[in-house]
Amino acid sequence: MARQGTRPRRATIFDVAAEANVSRGTVSRMLNGEPYVSDSARDAIEKAIAKVGYVRNMAARNLATQRSKAIALIVHEPHSVFLEDPNIGAILLGTNERLSEADYQLVCLIIGSDRDSARIADYLRGGFVDGAVIVSAREHDPIADAIAHIGLPAVFVGHPESAPDMHYVGIDNRSAARDITRALLATGRKRVGMIAAALDRDSGSERLAGFRDAMGDDFDENLVVDFPLYSRNSGVEGMKTLLERAGDIDGIFAASDAVAAGAMDVLRQSGRSVPGDVGIVGFDDSDWALRCQPQLSTVRQPADLLGREAASMVLELVNGVTPETPGRILPTEIKLRGSA
């Protein structure tokens, strides 16, 4: 109780009321911008607030109103990927922007361990937030189950199959993967493989499915490797494996730009040129894509818009509006650059 000891006592609405010679009801109305407050009362209250240094106690307000005007953004990522994944940051910022417009506070919660999971479930149940946006949940994510159980308004970024009845925003990973693979094939490649990643997430498995779609009869299981993370290192290891398996490979679809970057480095080290000997395409259109030499052909996904849409949707849910559709799919765009 250090805070209580050192500071005298926070001014309450009672203090303001006494100072302004009105009742706390009037002060409350004024604070909440309700009508029916006289000009004279308004003036007196304003002065009183300034004088006693009053600020609302949100805990009390929450208790009385049963809402908090805060929305959680839950990020479930192993450490290394959180640092490398360019989408999460953009989603975060997009969500924050939209919530800010609605005067809601974004509260970002990180799941780094099982212990975090349990504590965060308590936090969500505790009434600290009115809703939640979940980023990068995987199939059968405990936190997703907890949210469903609590009944907290929630929107997923992405669409895990294990939570089919939850609201979501996302992109059509499968179609996009198909299209970018076709673009790669259109450059005349004969032996095309994929470095897949994160098959435990919908984005990962759908990208693989799209690749398969595009390859049709030419699909060769032997030319597909997969790794847990969308990381540069996955690209490095994956490319090494593929080169061992098929030295004549001439096309690579990497599950993300970071993966592609790793793969490209290995190709270079092995003396192969890009796009001369091997064509390579990625996914995300993150800054990895621009930093590659040559720059990467990839799929642009509107990460910031995903965040914005998720925020809009959760605001609707919180306000009792049922969204027209349970999910929203945002368009992606093929970006052709020099790598294929």
Partner DNA sequence: ACACTTTCTGTGAACGTGCACAGAAGGCGA
Partner DNA sequence: TCGCCTTCTGTGCACGTTCACAGAAAGTGT
**Spatial distance between the Cα atoms of 256 and 296, rounded to a whole number of angstroms:** 11
- The partner in contact with residue 41, picked from a copy of itself, DNA, none with C-beta cut-offs of 5 to 8 angstroms by kind, is DNA
HSE, side-chain direction, 13 A CA sphere, residue 112:
7
**Interacting residue with a copy of itself among 30, 44, 49, 130 (CB under 8 A):** 130
Q: How many helices (H) and strands (E) does the chain have?
A: 15, 12
How far separated are the first and last CA of the chain, in Å rounded? 63
The structure tokens listed for 321 are 């509006």
Residues 208-267 binding a copy of itself (CB under 8 A) are 232, 261
In sequence order, what are the beta bridge partners of 107? Answer: 72
Of 293 and 325, nearer to a copy of itself (C-beta) is 293
Sign of CA dihedral 272, 273, 279, 280: positive
Burial readout 283-310 (b: 16 or more C-beta within 10 A, e: otherwise): bbbbebbeebeeebbbbbbbbbbbbbbb
Tell me the C-alpha distance between 76 and 82, whole Å: 9
**Contact by Cβ (8 Å): 192, 218:** yes
Residues of span 285-304 touching a copy of itself by CB under 8 A: 287, 291
257-286 residues near a copy of itself, rule: CB under 8 A: 261
CB of 120 to DNA, least distance (A): 18
- Using CB under 8 A as the binding rule, whether residue 56 contacts a copy of itself is answered as yes
Does position 61 bind a copy of itself by CB under 8 A?
yes
Query: Does 107 interact with a copy of itself (rule: CB under 8 A)?
Result: yes
Of DNA, a copy of itself, none, which one sits near residue 277, judging by CB under 5 to 8 A according to partner kind? none
User: 71, exposed or middle or buried, with CB in 10 Å at 0-12, 13-18, 19+?
Assistant: buried
d(CA 327, CA 164) in angstroms, rounded, equals 10
- Minimum CB separation from a copy of itself for residue 150, in Å? 8
Phi, psi angle pair for 9, to nearest 5°: 180, 135
Q: Name the site residues for DNA (rule: CB under 7 A).
A: 9-10, 12-14, 21-26, 28-29, 31-32, 35-41, 54-57, 60-61, 63-66
Please report how close the Cβ of residue 133 comes to a copy of itself at its closest, in angstroms.
13
Q: Output 11 or 246, the one with its CB closest to a copy of itself.
A: 11
Residues that bind a copy of itself (CB under 8 A): 1-7, 55-63, 66-68, 70, 79, 82-84, 86, 89-90, 92-93, 96-97, 100, 103, 105-110, 112-113, 115-116, 119-120, 122-123, 125-128, 130, 151, 153, 232, 261, 287, 291, 317-320
